[in-house]
Amino acid sequence: MNKKQESVKWLAENFTEDEKKGFYKAIYSRRDVRSHFISKIIEDSVLSKILHAAHHAPSVGFSQPWNFILIKDIETKKKIKESFDEEKNRSSKLVEDPKRSKYLSFKLEGILESPVNLCVTYDPTKFGPFIIGRSSMPEAGLYSVCCAIQNLWLSARTEGIGLGWVSILSNKVLKETLDLPEHVVPVAYLCLGYVDEFAEKPDLETKGWLPRLELKDVVYFEKWNDKENKNWVGIKEMIKDNLNYA
């Protein structure tokens, strides 16, 4: 059975417990990686798998509005790193010490250490102007690109590859550096590489910057802020324990 036949067969099947375990392992062990990159090259076959996973994300009106720009040119990386340094410094002035010093001490990117950088962009003109589902919510195009990024991120994790999303940089610098047309939106700048470990928790949780919320604190019933609705007693009971997730 070839790969194509296999993927068609999947549609009619339920997931076995082992298959579910593989999936949830990706969900719970994925991290935003800024260090621990090792020098091992990402094989073309693996990079291809990850890009294919991204490309099979959902998209509004099947518009597939994403592009993936693979980067290893050191001059590009240096320009983006410079922009990161500037923006980090600039934004640090928005908070007071001791938070400012703590913020400045964090390692928040792996632009130069990771073998592959990847910019994911949104092109609203693709297949346009009329895209099903985008007339009432134009932002749905951007949302599709984010779904592709999350597919990519999870796929990278299954392959042992760490991924870090750098959002501390100037989109203007990014657009100029990568020759993006005016209408194209850079959505994410990602750093990818094999790592020697995936951390047990998000760095910002470990360092006490912010706590993980409990699931029960982010779930409402029927209306905003309703946590007591009597028609949802079962699920309310179920999510009060934060350890039953996997």
Joined together, the tokens standing for residue 238 give: 């179920």
Q: Closest Cα to residue 191, out of 118, 121, 128?
A: 118
Site for its own copies in 126-145 (CB under 8 A): 127, 130, 132-137, 139-140, 142-143
Q: How far is the CB of 179 from its own copies (least distance, A)?
A: 5
State how far the Cα of 225 lies from the Cα of 220, in Å rounded to an integer. 6
Q: How far is the CB of 167 from its own copies (least distance, A)?
A: 4
Site for its own copies in 42-71 (CB under 8 A): 44-45, 47-49, 51-53, 55-58, 60-64, 66-71
Quick one: which of 149, 190, 191, 192 contacts its own copies (CB under 8 A)?
A: 149
Distances (CA, A) of 243 to 95, 112, 198: 34, 37, 20
Q: Closest Cα to residue 111, out of 199, 192, 196, 195?
A: 192
State how far the Cα of 55 lies from the Cα of 76, in Å rounded to an integer. 24
Site for its own copies in 199-228 (CB under 8 A): 199-200, 202, 204-205, 209-210, 212-213, 215, 218-225
Tell me if 68 sits within 8 A of 120, measured CB to CB: yes
Contact between 106 and its own copies by CB under 8 A: the answer reads yes
Q: How far is the CB of 2 from its own copies (least distance, A)?
A: 7
Contact between 10 and its own copies by CB under 8 A: the answer reads yes
Q: How far is the CB of 113 from its own copies (least distance, A)?
A: 18
* Residue matched to tokens 């007693």: 233
Site for its own copies in 173-192 (CB under 8 A): 178-181, 184, 187-188
